Amino acid sequence: MFDLDKWQEIFETISKNKLRTVLTGFSVFWGIFMLIILLGSGNGLRNGFKADFEADAINSIWIYTGRTTIPYKGMKPGRFIGFTDADNDIIDDGRVAGLENVASRLWLPDQTMVYGNKKGTYQPIATEPGQFYAENCTMITGRFLNETDLTQRRKVIVLGEPIQKQLFPDGDHLSKFIKVGGIAFKVIGTFKDGGGDGDNRRGYIPMTVGQTVFGKGRSVHAISSTIGNSTSEESLVIEQGIRNRLAALHKFSPEDKRAVWIHNTTDQFMQIMNVLNAISLFVWIIGIGTIVAGIVGVGNIMMIVVKERTREIGIRKALGATPLSVVSLIILESIFITSVAGYLGLIVGVFTLEGVSSLIEDPGIFQNPEVDLGTAITATVVLVIAGTLAGLFPAIKAASISPIEALREE
């Protein structure tokens, strides 16, 4: 392996056949390069979809109002199904197994929020404590709403980070009072939401306060809930359980999917992940197929090398060279070509992905197209195995050459 004379001979052979060596190595280079690009692109899609789902908890169910599309018990389609506190109560009464942190939600018109000489227009949202988990929020300071805030109708507010920075640039905001549409609210915390700027430019107030202060009666716009560690199949059972309960309350067909719209993040997340896993498998198949094509090319070239050096190999064996020394010479040359070309493909592929990533200003569903350490290690192992296999059969043929027959070669 570390015989200096052997490596000197390998380099001499390569230098005599530069074009052939470059073309041989390029097939391996291209295979690894395409594998890295395809895997990186697949990871970029996976990261983008995960980031999109992280705007809300991936184990959440959201229920929105809708209109009936199926006639039911003499009632025509087209009826609007609106929500009130009764809908929240019937979902949260424990008869649908698996629900956690059920919370109603009421969107309120944008209001001017003022503290001292600082002000801005943002959206207040009336909600309940469970909303924190469905939104997948992170508290930066203070706390979120609790049950006491609801029952005692406390005028408290949890601000999104951009609002806090606008109204309190010095950072001192907890227990301070701001005016929301002319009504004083006590700041109890600041949150950060992974859903982007729109989800952060809002303030959460207790549902009971929002309904009363802004004259909304018992109206509710949406209801959310988390479902723990439920599987995709279990989430569909929970979803149908919710639909059945609401159908009984509002008298619409349980089969009418548009009477109420249910956004099941668990089921959707698993569907998308299954598609992405299938894409990853397809990418590996295509990438490995491309590498195998390169390996076959290297093997064919090494067979030509053995054919060209038949007389030389015969002389070596006649002078006492062992079959192992002949085999190692061919295999090492093959490993060297595939490894150098493969690592160049790996490096160029990684830098290409980095360049593409830096050029994307708005990543959307394509974020951080990168290849992880495990893939790099896998590619390394593939290269070593590829180089060995590419040179194995030509080496075996070289070792089997009879010195007498070799010396007869012209």
Tens digit of pLDDT for each residue in 94-151? Answer: 889 899 999 999 999 999 999 999 999 999 999 999 999 888 888 999 999 999 999 9
From CA 316, how far away is CA 64, in angstroms rounded?
A: 82
Contact 236, 257 (CB under 8 A): no
Question: Total structural domains in the chain?
Answer: 2
What pLDDT, on the 0 to 100 scale, is given for residue 126? 96
DSSP H or E run through 189? strand 183-193
From CA 228, how far away is CA 191, in angstroms rounded?
A: 22
What pLDDT, on the 0 to 100 scale, is given for residue 71? 92
Question: Does the pLDDT of residue 1 top 60, yes or no?
Answer: no
Residue of 25, 23, 36 lying closest to 287 (CA atoms): 36
Question: Does the pLDDT of residue 19 top 90, yes or no?
Answer: no
Among 245, 264, 283, residue at a domain's last position: 264
What pLDDT, on the 0 to 100 scale, is given for residue 250? 94
Domain residues for the domain of 370 are: 4-53+270-408
Q: Is 17 exposed, middle or buried (0-12, 13-18, 19+ CB in 10 A)?
A: middle
Average pLDDT on 336-348 reads 82
Same domain, 301 and 404: yes
Average pLDDT on 33-55 reads 74
Averaged confidence pLDDT in the chain: 83
Q: What pLDDT digit, counting tens, does each position of 237-287 carry? A: 999 999 999 999 999 999 999 999 999 988 887 887 788 788 778 877 877
What pLDDT, on the 0 to 100 scale, is given for residue 105? 95
Same domain, 75 and 180: yes
Same domain, 119 and 96: yes
- Give the largest CA-CA distance in the chain: 105
What pLDDT, on the 0 to 100 scale, is given for residue 37? 83
From CA 37, how far away is CA 388, in angstroms rounded?
A: 25
pLDDT grade for 40, boundaries at 50, 70 and 90: confident
Q: Is 216 exposed, middle or buried (0-12, 13-18, 19+ CB in 10 A)?
A: middle
Beta partners for residue 190, in sequence order: 141, 159
Same domain, 232 and 336: no
From CA 121, how far away is CA 94, in angstroms rounded?
A: 39
Same domain, 118 and 254: yes
What pLDDT, on the 0 to 100 scale, is given for residue 273? 79
Average pLDDT on 308-317 reads 66
Q: Which two tokens stand for residue 279?
A: 């894409």
Same domain, 131 and 46: no
Q: Pick the range with the lowest mean pLDDT from 169-173, 196-200, 389-393.
A: 389-393
Among 227, 243, 264, residue at a domain's last position: 264
pLDDT grade for 210, boundaries at 50, 70 and 90: very high
Same domain, 65 and 186: yes
Among 237, 264, 291, residue at a domain's last position: 264
What pLDDT, on the 0 to 100 scale, is given for residue 378? 74
Same domain, 249 and 285: no
Give SS3 for 195: coil
Question: Does the pLDDT of residue 160 top 80, yes or no?
Answer: yes
DSSP H or E run through 325? helix 323-359
What pLDDT, on the 0 to 100 scale, is given for residue 58? 79
Question: Does the pLDDT of residue 314 top 70, yes or no?
Answer: no
Q: Please identify which residue in the block is written with the tokens 């279990």.
A: 234
Same domain, 278 and 367: yes
Question: Does the pLDDT of residue 189 top 90, yes or no?
Answer: yes
What pLDDT, on the 0 to 100 scale, is given for residue 362? 59
Same domain, 68 and 152: yes
Phi, psi of 39 (to 5 degrees): -65, -40
Q: Please identify which residue in the block is written with the tokens 């309904």.
A: 211
From CA 114, how far away is CA 336, in angstroms rounded?
A: 70
Same domain, 35 and 14: yes
From CA 328, how far away is CA 326, in angstroms rounded?
A: 6
Same domain, 207 and 100: yes
pTM score > 0.75 for this model? no
Question: Does the pLDDT of residue 207 top 90, yes or no?
Answer: yes
What pLDDT, on the 0 to 100 scale, is given for residue 363? 57
